Amino acid sequence: MTYDMTVIGSGPGGYVAAIRCAQLGMKTAIVERYAALGGTCLNVGCIPSKALLDSTELYHNAVEHFKTHGIEATGLKLNWPQLLARKEKVLKDSVAGIAYLMKKHKIDVYEGHGTFLTPTSISVAKRDGSAHVLATSKTIIATGSKPVSLPFAPLDKKRLISSTEALSLSEIPGELVIIGAGVIGVELGSVFARVGTKVHIVELLDAVIPNMDRTMGKELQRSLTKLGVKFYLGHKVVKASAEKKGVRVDVTDPDGQALQLKADYGLVAVGRRPYTDNLGLAAIGVVMERGFVRVNERLETNVPGVFAIGDVIGGKMLAHKAEEEGIFVAEQADGQKPHLNYSTIPDVVYTWPEVASVGATEEELRTAGRDYKSGSFSFKALGRARAANESDGLIKVLADNRTDELLGVHMFGARAADMIAEAVVALEFRASAEDIARTSHAHPTFTEAIREACLAATGNRAIHA
C-alpha cells in the first residue's frame, strides 16, 4: 500500500502531525518502535512526571498547609506504591487515548523500527525479526530525543539513573543528588523533596533554570530551598559513579575546591539529544548538523518530500513546539500557508509554584541592546492569591520603550502554566502593555496580576501595588 504521508515516531509531534494529515484527506501511516504510542512525553516524560508532581503536591499540602485552612488531618501517610500505580494508570489511559485517535482518523499504525531504504520507501523492522516495507510519497521524521549521558557519569540505570528510571523508583530515596538544575532536574527534585528525600542539585552554571528569565530562576530557587533542596551552583561535576548501595559524586566549587557528595541515587538531568539511531538518514543523503536533522523554513530536509519536526531538529525541546511543527508540515503538504512563530512558544516548569515564560528575557533584551521597559506585580498584593494561601508569586512583563509592544512575559506562581496562555495570545497578536492594561480581568482571579504588571509597565499605574 502506498501512503501520502508516513510519520516515523508517535510522540506529540508525530501523532498530531498524523491526525492533521488524515483530517486533510491524506492516506496516513505512523511507525512506532515501541508497543505503546505517545513517545517520550506520554510514556517517560511530560505525563508521568506531572502525575508524580500532582500527587506529591497534594501530599505536601496535606502535611504542611491543611492546618492553615482549618483542616485537621490525622494518621496521614504516603502510600508510594499506590502513588506509582496511579501514575501508571494515567499513562495507560493516555496511551489508549492516542490509539483511539489513530483508529478514529483511520491512520494505519505499524509497530517496529522505521529505517529509510529510499526517500519513498521505509522498512519497519518488527521485534520478531520480520520486516514490512511501506511506500510513501512524503515522510515526517518525528523520532524525538533521549536523555544525554556524560562520559564521567556512566549510567547503570539502578543507582546512577536518568529521568526515565527516576519516574519509576520503587522506593523513596533517603538522599538524592541531581546533576543539572534545568527543568527536569528541578521538577523531579521537587517531587522527591516533598516526600522527605534530602535533595542536592548540582549545576555548572550560576543559576537555576538558566535558560529562562533570571528573576524567575531566583524565585524558584528560593521556593525549592524552603522545601529543603540544597543547591550547588557554579559547581562542576568531575566524576559520578554507582556504588553497591548508592552513588558518589565528586565536584569542584567555583573556587576549585573539591567536594564529595554521597546519596542513595544520582540523577543525571543535563538535557536530551536527538534520536536518529538507525533511521537510514545517511543512506538517503539527509544532511545532519551537530547531531540534529537540518531543515529549511518549511521544515523540509535537503531530500525533497522528507520533513522533520520536534526534538530531532533542535530548538526548544518541548511537546507543544513539536505539535505546532507537525500541524505546520501537514498543512503545507496540503498546499496551505500555515503560520509558525517560534518566539511565542511558551516555556513552563511544573514545580509548585510554577514558572512560565514566553518571548524575550530581560537578559536577551539587554544583550540585543533593545530599549525596553518592565513592570512587575507580586502575588502578595493579589486578593485571590491571599485567599488561596498562594501569595508566593510574581509576574514580570517586558515591553518596547517606544511602541509599548509586549516583548516578553515571565511568571512565577500558582497556575502560571495555565495563565501563560494569555501572554502567548497577546504576543501572537502583537499587543501592547496598554492593550492588556485596558482589558477587563475578572475579580478575584490570579490573572489580574498580568493586568497589574502591564499597568506597572505603562507609567507605574498598578492599582494594588
Amino acid at 455: L
Q: Write the DSSP string, 386-447.
A: HHTT----EEEEEEETTT-BEEEEEEEETTHHHHHHHHHHHHHTT-BHHHHHTS---SS-TT
Alpha-carbon distances, residue 464 vs 131, 167, 237, 386 (angstroms): 66, 42, 45, 13
Q: What would the grid cell of residue 10 be?
A: 508517535
For the record, the C-alpha cell of 429 comes out as: 497578536
Three cell numbers written together for 311:
526534538
What are the beta bridge partners of residue 348?
356
Q: Give φ, ψ of 284 to 5 degrees.
A: -100, 5
* Share of the chain residues as helix, strand and coil, in percent rounded to the nearest 5: 35, 30, 35
Residue 464 designated active-site: no
Cα(first)–Cα(last) distance of the chain, in Å?
65
Cis peptide before 353 (omega within 30 of 0): yes
Q: Out of 113, 235, 443, 464, which one is annotated catalytic?
A: 443
Kindly report whether the peptide bond that precedes residue 81 is cis, defined as omega within 30 degrees of 0.
no
Cβ neighbors of 145 (< 8 A, separation 6 or more) are 40, 272, 273, 274, 275, 310, 311, 312, 317
CB atoms within 10 A of CB 171: 9
- Dihedral sign (CA 91, 95, 97, 98): positive
Dist. CA 175–CA 267, nearest whole Å = 11
The C-alpha cell 506529591 sits at 56
- Which stretch of DSSP H or E encloses residue 4? strand 2-8
Helix runs in 202-345, H state only = 214-226, 281-284, 319-333
| Active site (catalytic) residues | 443
